[in-house]
Structure 1
Amino acid sequence: MTLSRALAIAGFVVAGLALLAVEWAARRPDSRVPTLGAVVALVMRYDVGGLPVGRLAILLFWFWLGWHFLAR
């Protein structure tokens, strides 16, 4: 395994752990941090001139994720 691949994997692991830590902090009683579901719901409601920009952003994010992790 090359160093750049190991650094990329480590970066994704750190990002995943940070996401879990924020979600854990959001679910504590009396927390002012929104949960991941609340953030996604807010993004999904975003429209510009009748065009569902938020839904398109979520769709493109899932496409990008699948392309990078499942396309080989």
Structure 2
Amino acid sequence: MSLTRSVAIAGFLAAIVAFAVVEVLARRKGSTIPTLGDVCTHVLAYEVGRIPVGRIGFLGFWWWLGWHLFAR
């Protein structure tokens, strides 16, 4: 395995751990940190005029993630 691939995998694992830690902190009683679900709801509801920019961005993110993780 190359060094670049190892660094990329380590980066993705660090991001997953960071998301998990923030989610646990957000679910504590009295926390002011929004949960991942709250953030997704806010992003998906964002529109410019009648164009659902948040949904288009979310779709683009999932496409990018799938392309980089599953396409070979």
Interval of TM-score (by shorter of Structure 1 and Structure 2): over 0.9
The reply on whether 1:29 has 2:34 as its aligned counterpart is no
TM-score scaled to structure 1, two decimals? 0.96
Q: Distance in 1 between matches of 2:59 and 2:2?
A: 32
Matched-pair identity in %: 54
Rounded Cα–Cα distance in structure 1 between residues aligned with 2:35 and 2:20:
10
1:7 aligns with 2:7: yes
TM-score (norm 2): 0.96
**Alignment RMSD, CA only?**
0.7
Q: CA deviation at 1:70?
A: 1.3
Distance 1:24 1:48 in 2: 32
After the TM superposition, which residues 40-55 of structure 1 pair with which residues of structure 2 at under 5 Å, given as runs? 40-55=40-55
Once the two structures are superposed, residues 10-68 of structure 1 have per-residue CA deviations (whole angstroms, 9 ceiling, x without a partner) of 11111110000000000011000000000000001100011000010111111111111
Take 1:54 and 1:19, find their aligned partners in 2: how far apart are those partners? 20
Separation of aligned partners in 2, 1:8 and 1:62: 18
Q: State the alpha-carbon separation in 1 of the partners of residues 3 and 68 from structure 2.
A: 19
